[in-house]
C-alpha cells in the first residue's frame, strides 16, 4: 500500500512509498482510509520542530496522520461489535484505561496515552490497523464527507465546552486556522457577538468564514489601532494561534472576569503580564484532547445536522490530494494557502 512516512530525523523530509499493508492483529481492525487531513502537528513533524524531535525519539519510521475516516476492511481475532464495511472514525490515541485521568472520564488527557502518527502508524496511507477501543462506528445518518474533519471538530467542540455558558457573551477567536475556523462555526448562533482575528495572510480564510457567519466581525491584526481597541472587551477569548504573542494578546482582549481558553500549542516558553489575569480575575483554561464520551456526543451532533450545516463545516476543506503529492500538500498548509487539506488515498492519479 502507499503511505506517507517520516523516516529520517531531519527537517523537510517525508517519503511516499509502497510498504506492506498492516496485518490482522488480535482486537484490532484494519481500516481502509477514505480521507485523511493534514494537521498543524503533522507540519511540525515534517519541518522537524525541536519539540517534535524530542517527541519522536527513536520512533521513526512512522506513517503520519491522525485525522481520518474510513471503512472496516478486515477484522482481527477476538473483535466484537464491528463488521466488514462499517463506516468508522477513531480517536487518534490509545489511553491506558487505568490511570486517574482515565478512571475519572478524562481519558483524552491520559498521561500514558500513545499517539497515532507518533507512537504508532497513522492514517496517511491506504490502510491502518488500530485497536477497537478507540474506534467509533458511525450512524447511518452521519454525513461521511465530514468524517475526516471529525477530530478537528472535536478539538474545537472540547474547547467551546471549556468556556462554559455562551449565552449573551462577546467572544473573540484569535487565529483563523482550521481549529479557530471550526470553533467559530460551533459558536454561530450561540453567542451575543463573535470576532475573529487573523493576520494579513489570513484574509481569505476570514472572508470564507464571514460567508458562513454573516454577523461575525473579522479583524486583521495590526490593520488599525482602532481595530485593536474594539476587541479589548471580550467575555471569552479562544487562543488558537499557538504563536508567541497569542497568550499575552488574549489576556489583553478580556474584560473583567473573562475566560481565556488556550488551545494553540506554543513551541517556546512565553512571558505574559500575569497581572492582567490577576486584576481582571480571569479564568484561564487549557483545552487539548477530548475523552471518548465527547467523541460520542459530537458524532450524534453531526448525525443530526441538516444539509446546510454539513456544508458549512465542509467549507473549511480547501484542497484534496492523492498521497503521492504529500510534499505539495504539506507546503500548501505551511504557506497558509490551504485551510484544511485532505488526502484521498483512493485517488491514485498523481
Binding residues for Zn ion (CB under 5 A)? 39, 41, 95-96, 99, 102, 110, 112
Q: How far is CA 71 from CA 30, 49, 207, 213, in A?
A: 9, 33, 34, 33
- Strand 93-94 to strand 114-115: parallel, antiparallel, or no bridges (unpaired)? antiparallel
Nearer residue to Zn ion within complex by CB, 102 or 135: 102
Nearer residue to Zn ion within complex by CB, 95 or 249: 95
For CA atoms 349, 345, 308, 201, the dihedral sign is negative
Nearer residue to Zn ion within complex by CB, 96 or 266: 96
List the grid coordinates of 184: 467559530
Nearer residue to Zn ion within complex by CB, 96 or 166: 96
Nearer residue to Zn ion within complex by CB, 153 or 191: 153
* Beta strand ranges found along the chain (DSSP E): 2-6, 15-18, 28-37, 62-63, 67-75, 87-90, 93-94, 114-115, 127-131, 135-137, 170-174, 193-198, 217-220, 234-239, 254-262, 283-286, 317-321, 340-343
The CB-of-266 to Zn ion minimum distance in angstroms stands at: 16
The CB-of-103 to Zn ion minimum distance in angstroms stands at: 8
The CB-of-95 to Zn ion minimum distance in angstroms stands at: 5
The cell 492483529 sits on which residue? 25
Q: Classify residue 282 as left (phi > 0), alpha (psi -120 to 50) or beta.
A: beta
Nearer residue to Zn ion within complex by CB, 65 or 198: 65
Q: How many CA atoms lie within 13 A of 275 on its CB side?
A: 0
The CB-of-66 to Zn ion minimum distance in angstroms stands at: 6
Amino acid at each position: 500500500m502507499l503511505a506517507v512516512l517520516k523516516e529520517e530525523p531531519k527537517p523537510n523530509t517525508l517519503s511516499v512509498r509502497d510498504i506492506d499493508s498492516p496485518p490482522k492483529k488480535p482486537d484490532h481492525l484494519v481500516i481502509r482510509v477514505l480521507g485523511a487531513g493534514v494537521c498543524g502537528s503533522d507540519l511540525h513533524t515534517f519541518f522537524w520542530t525541536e519539540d517534535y524531535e524530542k517527541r519522536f525519539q527513536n520512533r521513526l519510521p512512522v506513517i503520519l496522520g491522525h485525522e481520518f475516516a474510513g471503512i472496516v476492511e478486515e477484522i482481527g481475532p477476538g473483535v466484537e461489535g464491528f463488521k466488514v464495511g462499517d463506516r468508522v472514525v477513531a480517536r487518534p490515541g490509545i489511553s491506558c484505561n487505568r490511570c486517574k485521568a482515565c478512571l475519572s472520564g478524562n481519558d483524552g488527557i491520559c498521561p500514558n496515552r500513545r499517539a497515532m502518527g507518533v507512537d504508532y502508524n497513522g492514517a496517511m496511507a491506504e490502510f491502518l490497523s488500530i485497536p477497537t477501543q478507540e474506534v467509533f462506528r458511525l450512524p447511518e445518518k452521519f454525513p461521511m464527507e465530514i468524517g475526516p474533519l471529525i477530530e478537528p471538530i472535536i478539538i474545537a467542540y472540547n474547547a467551546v465546552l471549556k468556556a462554559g455558558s455562551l449565552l449573551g457573551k462577546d467572544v473573540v477567536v484569535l487565529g483563523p486556522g482550521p481549529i479557530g475556523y471550526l470553533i467559530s462555526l460551533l459558536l454561530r448562533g450561540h453567542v451575543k457577538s463573535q470576532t475573529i482575528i487573523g493576520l494579513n495572510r489570513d484574509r481569505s480564510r476570514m472572508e470564507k468564514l464571514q460567508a458562513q457567519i454573516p454577523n461575525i466581525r473579522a479583524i486583521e491584526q495590526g490593520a488599525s489601532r482602532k481595530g485593536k481597541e474594539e476587541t479589548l472587551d471580550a467575555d471569552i477569548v479562544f487562543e488558537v494561534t499557538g504563536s508567541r504573542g497569542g497568550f499575552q494578546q488574549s489576556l489583553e482582549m478580556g474584560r473583567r472576569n473573562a475566560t481565556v481558553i488556550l488551545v494553540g500549542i506554543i513551541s517556546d516558553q512565553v512571558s505574559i503580564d500575569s497581572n492582567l489575569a490577576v486584576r481582571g480575575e480571569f479564568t484561564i483554561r487549557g483545552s487539548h484532547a477530548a475523552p471518548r464520551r465527547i467523541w460520542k456526543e459530537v458524532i450524534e451532533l453531526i448525525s443530526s445536522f441538516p444539509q446546510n450545516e454539513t456544508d458549512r463545516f465542509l467549507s473549511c476543506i480547501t484542497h484534496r490530494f492523492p498521497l503521492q503529492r504529500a510534499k505539495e500538500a504539506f507546503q500548501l498548509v505551511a504557506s497558509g494557502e490551504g485551510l484544511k487539506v485532505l488526502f484521498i488515498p483512493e485517488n491514485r492519479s498523481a
